[in-house]
Amino acid sequence: MPDQPNKKSSDWDRIWNARIAALTPILCKPSNMVYHAPIPFYLGGFADVLPFPDFVPGVTYVTAEMTGEEMGQRPNSLGQYELMICARQELPKAADLISRLTRYTCDAVLEAHQTMDLGTFLGDSTIRALVFAYPRDEPVYFEFFDQHYGLLLCLGITAEELAFGRAHGNKNLLALLKEHGVFPYTIPDRPSIPLPQ
């Protein structure tokens, strides 16, 4: 007698394919590679991550597990959302960072223009924190199964930039990061941008 199809696997495939189809018009086609979490998210692990090589020059890593079904994420002003991070070249540690950060989104609400300390997660890098932002000037949404979801960009910043954002507002910091050509990239060994006194 033939095996019965696995409903969980079938549902996962259907959601995965719909999510990719919804993200592709925004981020362009993903690569064939997937960064799989060693322990799946639904078992207490972290989220899988997809690289999108053509959204901006370099590579954009996007979580691919927080939308399409209830995963326990605390919605922000976008509703349910996926995390993304852009790098000028392949940076698997960036994919690992947003994969791990998905678990935190089940405990805390992350919003654009907030910051988060990273410590030495990226090793000897000058990047010591993240500032969250929209990947464009306005919120970016995608839709599948008649539901809207958002994208939240994670942007690596230095300790000096973090201090400036806290003192003068993260919107002002993001404007300067755009002005100096850093946005939307997380660049591990860059110096701080020039900051007004």
**Rounded CA separation 5/71 (Å):** 23
Is there a contact between 13 and 68 (Cβ–Cβ < 8 Å)?
A: no
Phi, psi for 17 (deg, rounded to 5):
-65, -40
pLDDT digits over 45-64, tens only?
A: 999 999 999 999 999 999 99
Tokens 């540690």: give the residue.
93
Question: Where residue 10 falls among pLDDT bands split at 50, 70, 90?
Answer: confident
Tokens 């969980």: give the residue.
8
**Rounded CA separation 67/114 (Å):** 21
Please say whether the dihedral angle defined by the alpha carbons of residues 106, 107, 113 and 117, taken in this order, is positive or negative. negative
Question: Where residue 4 falls among pLDDT bands split at 50, 70, 90?
Answer: very low
Tokens 């994969």: give the residue.
99
Residues contacting 6, CB < 8 A, separation 6+: none
What SS3 class is residue 130? strand
Q: Name the token pair of 187.
A: 């660049």
Residues contacting 188, CB < 8 A, separation 6+: 91, 93, 122, 123, 125, 126, 127, 156
Residue 64 burial by CB count (10 A; 0-12/13-18/19+): exposed, middle or buried? buried
pLDDT digits over 90-143, tens only?
A: 999 999 999 999 999 999 999 999 999 999 999 889 999 999 999 999 999 999
